[in-house]
Amino acid sequence: MGHPVLRRPARPLRPEELTSDRLHRLVADMVDTLHDYGGIGLAAPQVGESVRLAMIEIPGGPTRYGELDHMPLTVCVNPEIEIVDETAAGYWEGCLSIPGLRGFVERPQHIRVAYLDLKGERCEIEARGFLATVFQHEFDHLDGRLFVDRIQDPTRLAFEEEFARYVLSSEDGESVDGDS
Ligand code: ZN
């Protein structure tokens, strides 16, 4: 956080770029980064590339974010979100670009996502609940937005250590998320 690339709207990728070595290297690099840091999502601006590409991968079962539904590695190019239902719910989000912090963010919990995969095929996913939050968090990065911008109650921003000590213990079962 503080690097200008995180605050810049990223540019769409052109179809011919999807087959380029440069893009394949970027994707491989992002997958490594995601796995190295044990994240569940990553957007290209987070590794310094201002292009509209983000990936999400959620391991099934118990994780440090609680019990989550599995989502295989999904790479989204030029994604767009349509909100199906405005009803919002909040999670304590984290971000690889904002290490050490968690913040409570409310977002719509039923969305439809349209994107191109790496072969240039148009794909659509409907996401609810936590997964809807993860997509919105990642795609915000493509518009230069960070989760801290969306915190409505500034008292609900915490260091990881205090979050684990005071928040997790008191808000039993309330989920935690983000790409960190
Ligand atoms: Zn993030």
* CATH number of domain containing 125: 3.90.45.10
What is the distance in A from the centroid of ligand 1 to the CA of 153? Answer: 19
Q: Which of 67, 121, 126, 138 is catalytic?
A: 138
Global pTM reads 0.92
Per the structure, the complete domain to which residue 98 belongs is given by: 4-177
Q: What is the Å distance from ligand 1's center to 106 Cα? A: 15
Distance 147 CA to ligand 1 centre (A): 7
Report the b/e string of 39-57 with b at 16+ CB within 10 A.
Answer: bbbbbbbbbebebbbbbbb
Structure tokens at 161: 């250590």
User: What pLDDT score does 173 carry?
Assistant: 45
Return averaged pLDDT per consecutive 10 residues of the chain, 180 residues in all: 97 96 97 93 98 93 69 97 97 96 97 97 96 97 98 96 90 56
Q: 171 catalytic, yes or no?
A: no
Distance from Cα 65 to the centre of ligand 1, integer Å: 15
Q: How many domains does the chain have?
A: 1
Q: For residue 36, which amino acid is it?
A: D
